[in-house]
Amino acid sequence: MTPSKKSALKENDGVSQPETTNALSISKIKASRKKERSVESLVSAILEGNITALSQAITLVESKNPQHLEKANAIIKQCLPHANTSVRIGITGVPGVGKSTFIEAFGMHLTAIGKKVAVLAVDPSSSITKGSILGDKTRMEDLVKNKNAFIRPSASGASLGGVARKTRESIILCEAAGYNSIIIETVGVGQSETAVHSMVDFFLLLKLAGAGDELQGIKRGIIEMADSIAINKSDGDNIKATKLAKVEFNRALHLYPEKASNWQPKVTTCSAINEEGIDEIWTIISDYVTLTKGNQFFNDNRREQNKFWLIQTIEEQLKNDFFNNTEVKVELAKQLQLIEDNKTTPFVAADYLLKLKV
Amino acid sequence: MTPSKKSALKENDGVSQPETTNALSISKIKASRKKERSVESLVSAILEGNITALSQAITLVESKNPQHLEKANAIIKQCLPHANTSVRIGITGVPGVGKSTFIEAFGMHLTAIGKKVAVLAVDPSSSITKGSILGDKTRMEDLVKNKNAFIRPSASGASLGGVARKTRESIILCEAAGYNSIIIETVGVGQSETAVHSMVDFFLLLKLAGAGDELQGIKRGIIEMADSIAINKSDGDNIKATKLAKVEFNRALHLYPEKASNWQPKVTTCSAINEEGIDEIWTIISDYVTLTKGNQFFNDNRREQNKFWLIQTIEEQLKNDFFNNTEVKVELAKQLQLIEDNKTTPFVAADYLLKLKV
């Protein structure tokens, strides 16, 4: 793996490397940062599908440096008219379900039928584990080398909101670079599935037969969000069990009211490792796109998602600004003590805090 | 029923009357409003357990008039040291489960063993139906006449937040007036159950045998919130079915992780109409109180609830202040259009709106 190889460049940029190549990786990243490119240069390269430019732009989006963010916003603004032509597919499933193997097989199938595939991830926990998702590229070795695939690990960050925002902006950049199939991977941690659901057109839930976590899925609303459930590892001795699970999940899905999209969620089985049943999943997604583009849900949903993100961002910022204010912090502690001592009510205390000039 | 009767006064104040007595009711309410009492006079009357004073204070809490609210806050502040000695019990269940009959039987049982019972309700929909819950007093005719019971229908209001706030403040007033068993009733509408759960010590879910809405209860998190499930209408031909349902709900409850209170939720059967199994439910609640007062959960939970209401109230107010600002409304509409035209992203639009001097 030498720095001159295009595929290596694509993989390494912004990704933690195995220990043996860390020094090489760091010097390479530093070198690429020295030659800072202008907004115009980056935008025109992105629109030509240049992977290095795309990676650099995403690095700007993920930066904490205000100047970088300003530059990122300018790039995104110019890319916007060229985005929006893709299908955005969310994929979730518990660890062990075979997500990486599935994305490898699914991505290879999509490129084989002429698609350009970008794989992004939303994993707020990756700030600790340095990109746990997609970090283990050995499971996606064919897709990593594929010239029509772009793989980028999750942005790291303390808050899900921040990570989700960065991923959402990266989608626009990938679409401008000509990727028409955007896969957003997430693990079933906290609210990350809800965040991914609110940025994709189609939500795919990977399951195993007999995992017995249906109640968990119902409770957390994951099954309700799914446009399709694919029961993976349908191979060898496991085929009978996955067929049974298919019947059960079909029954469970019928307990839910009809979706706003008018789409009836489909349950299917697949074996990612044997590359079986993968084409069927793409057919399901294509059917979904045809239906929802026909009945306007596809565009209506993207519009609602944009509105959701606008309101969500404002609300988060209002809360952060208020509760991170030094005076508020001091007075909040005092008011909490007064409440505990039965000397005020939460509502009177709230009025008092809101009247502080913040 | 003449205006001089104490029980009639208690019932009528703030409650919609049957058509035949409306004129009488209105003139009576108007008359009572003329003689406006001072904060001190109301507080001392409340502390003596005067029902008319309590009703008047709750009317001030529910008022939209800023002067009334100021007066209400002063009353609550003086009542606070006298509150907090009660058990607050939330009761929910779908329409038809027999909630009114249950509260009648349960309330009568509590007064029979020497308790003073206040029944309040959280029903945001009551702004339309003018107090649908508890409006049908014919189902609670004994409790209405009971001198140790105080029944007040839901405050009306556009938002659940507003209704919940008023109910929460009314709890304090009722406790100051010597009511030591506070029942908060809600119907399973929207988020009202979550709101009630966050203001009570104990949450009771009423169910019917074979209603088949378990999935709904799991999905909406109601079963997870329950400290006890009582399967009502366990009488006549229905006894066998309720016993079976008891086994099933016990099994379902064991799927959930242990509660922070260390309490294992109990399932029981009852027949409210025959007044059977009602004492058992009070025993369960007493056991819960003993356990949670022993392990500090009771007080810790009330503290957490207060904190929750403080933060919740501030967040709601921050959002209201921002989004109801005239300039924000105009600019928000413009930014949404720009997003739709692909000329900006939700995040850039949010930054722009937040920079408006609001």
Q: What is the pLDDT of residues A52-99, one digit of tens each?
A: 999 999 999 998 888 998 899 999 989 988 876 799 999 998 888 999
Q: What is the pLDDT of residue A84?
A: 66
Query: Is the pLDDT higher at B344 or at A221?
Result: B344
Q: Which residue has the higher pLDDT, A215 or B200?
A: B200
Question: Mean pLDDT for chain A?
Answer: 85
Cβ atoms of A119 and A151 within 8 Å: the answer is yes
Lowest average pLDDT, out of A128-132, B222-226, B282-286, goes to: A128-132
Q: Quote the minimal CA–CA distance from B81 to chain A in Å.
A: 6
Confidence of residue B236 (pLDDT cuts 50, 70, 90): very high
Residues 157-186 of B with CB under 8 A from A: 165, 168-169, 172
Q: What class is the A303-354 domain?
A: mainly alpha
Under 8 Å CB-to-CB from B179, ≥6 apart: which residues? B86, B116, B117, B118, B150
**Residue B32: per-residue pLDDT:** 58
Q: Give the pLDDT confidence score for residue A158 in this predicted structure.
A: 63
Tell me what the mean pLDDT of segment B334-349 comes to. Answer: 90
Q: Does B243 touch chain A (CB under 8 A)?
A: no
Per-residue confidence (pLDDT) for residue A10, from 0 to 100:
40
- pLDDT in the model for residue B3: 39
φ/ψ of A335, rounded to 5, equals -65, -40
**Which segments of chain B does DSSP mark as H helices, in order?**
6-12, 22-34, 39-47, 51-62, 66-79, 99-112, 126-129, 141-145, 160-176, 192-197, 214-219, 222-225, 239-253, 278-294, 297-323, 326-340, 346-355
Is A307 an 8 Å CB contact of chain B?
yes
Q: Which amino acid is at A198?
A: S
B294 CB-near residues (< 8 Å, 6+ apart): none
CB environment B229-246: b (16+ within 10 A), e (fewer): bbbbbbbeebeebbeebb
pLDDT value, residue B9? 35
- Residue B213's pLDDT is 65
Domain locations in chain B as residue ranges: 84-295, 303-355
CB pairs < 8 Å spanning A and B: 128
Percent of chain A with pLDDT over 70: 81
Is A219 in Cβ contact with B306 (below 8 Å)?
A: no
CATH fourth-level superfamily of A83-295: P-loop containing nucleotide triphosphate hydrolases (3.40.50.300)
Q: Which residues, including other chains, have CB under 8 Å from residue B37's CB and lie 6 or more apart?
A: B45, B53, B56
Cβ contact, residue pair A318, B168, below 8 Å: no
The torsion of the CA quartet B90, B93, B96, B102, rounded to 10 degrees, works out to: -30
Tens-digit pLDDT profile for residues A271-290: 999 999 999 999 999 999 99
Mean confidence (pLDDT) of chain B: 85
User: Is some CB atom of chain A closer than 8 A to the CB atom of B19?
Assistant: no
Interface of B with A in 109-168 (CB under 8 A): 165, 168
Q: Per mean pLDDT, which range of A264-278, B227-241, B306-320 is the poorest?
A: B306-320
Q: Is A130 left (phi over 0), alpha (psi -120 to 50) or beta?
A: left
Question: If you average pLDDT over each of A32-41, A164-173, B254-263, B280-289, which comes out highest?
Answer: B280-289
Q: Looking at residue B147, what is its pLDDT?
A: 93
Partner B contacted by A353 (CB < 8 A)? yes
**Residue of A102, A273, A312, A84 lying closest to A179 (CA atoms):** A84
Q: What is the CB neighbour count within 10 angstroms for residue A347?
A: 20
Q: Residues A309-333: pLDDT tens digits?
A: 999 889 988 998 899 899 999 999 9
CATH code for the domain defined by B84-295 = 3.40.50.300
Q: What is the pLDDT at residue A55?
A: 95
Q: How would CATH label the architecture of B303-355?
A: Orthogonal Bundle (1.10)
What are the phi and psi torsion angles at B205 (to 5°)?
A: -105, 120
* Cα–Cα separations (whole angstroms), residue B348 to A76, A303, B187, B212, B351: 10, 16, 41, 47, 5
Provide the pLDDT confidence category of residue A342 given band limits of 50, 70 and 90: confident
Q: Above pLDDT 90, what percent of chain A?
A: 57
Q: Is the ipTM of this complex over 0.95?
A: no
- Is the Cβ of A349 closer than 8 Å to some Cβ of chain B? yes
Residue B67, pLDDT above cutoff 50: yes
- Using only C-alpha atoms, what is the Rg of chain A? 22
Question: What are the percentages of helix, strand and coil residues in chain A, rounded to 5?
Answer: 60, 10, 30
Query: Is the model more confident about A133 or about B321?
Result: B321
